[in-house]
Amino acid sequence: MQFISWNIDSINAAVAHTSARGEMTWQVLNDIAKQAPAVLAIQETKAKVTGLTKKQETALTSLFPGYHRFINVSTGRPGYSGTMMLSQVEPLAVTYPTIGAPGEMDLEGRIITLEFEDFYVSTVYTPNSGSQLARLTDRQAWDDAYRAYIQTLDAKKPVIFSGDFNVAHQPIDLKNPKTNHHSAGFTNEEREKFTLLLDAGFIDTFRTLNPDATDVYTWWAQLSKTSKINNSGWRIDYYLASERLKPQLRQFKVLDTGLRQDHAPIMVDFDL
């Protein structure tokens, strides 16, 4: 069973594709549709409070006919954050949980969870600690609350969960660890919280299959014109899973996005 996850950085930019970057984003979305994943998870939709526009709905229905679609929008800050999931099979239940996170984090549409007969599939868009690490304290509180939430799911049935976790866990997960030690996404605090998440009974599917692989990234800064060309990236997008699913893990892949910078989609296969 194949799953794909992607921080799209604006569903509207993809559907409208009125710029060169928008065209590339639209092409990636089309490429994903051709893969026909069992579940597609999307982060940072930046959808309106009212949800998808008619044009966006029409485009997604055309690309993913027959899929069940679920969207969680930000009500705290309009046109910000947001998540979406598309599933070939109708889930038993769908939840848009709040986890007791600080500030407006619970209002930013950051989590969707689908329940199936034998497992959960969830996606998350983890808050960024921000410039000058202004949100780092709140981010740590989020990490604790999110870990507790995922553990409640895992206590019932196995969980496969993906998203932009906004952290490069180990030095081999980014090109320049020495110069980014105090940057958002590579602070000791964020990395330690991610370790605690894994230690709570979950696996990083990529590292499980590729324990020593280097130069594999999922995000390249848009502000640097050469970040993708030089492969100066970060691995901050993950498929995690309950440890007891490890024997059924078959494959992990970062999907090719050509010259498009920002996030790349990730794909995982389980024998479920």
149 in Cβ contact with 202 (< 8 Å): no
What gap in Å lies between CA 159 and CA 13, rounded to an integer?
31
Tell me if 230 is assigned to a ligand binding site. no
> Please, how many CA atoms are within 13 Å of residue 245, restricted to the half-sphere of its CB?
28
Residue 251: closest CA among 232, 269, 235, 231: 269
186 in Cβ contact with 168 (< 8 Å): yes
What gap in Å lies between CA 6 and CA 107, rounded to an integer?
21
What gap in Å lies between CA 32 and CA 46, rounded to an integer?
19
129 in Cβ contact with 184 (< 8 Å): yes
Tell me if 263 is assigned to a ligand binding site. yes
Catalytic residue numbers?
A: 125, 164, 263
Tell me if 166 is assigned to a ligand binding site. yes
- Token pair for 22: 């928008």
Tell me if 262 is assigned to a ligand binding site. yes
CB count, 10 Å around CB of 29?
A: 22
Distance of CA 65 to the CA centre of its chain: 22
- Token pair for 192: 């330690």
Residue 56: closest CA among 8, 90, 96: 8
The binding site for Mg(2+) consists of 7, 44, 164, 166, 262-263
Q: Which residues line the annotated binding site?
A: 7, 44, 164, 166, 262-263
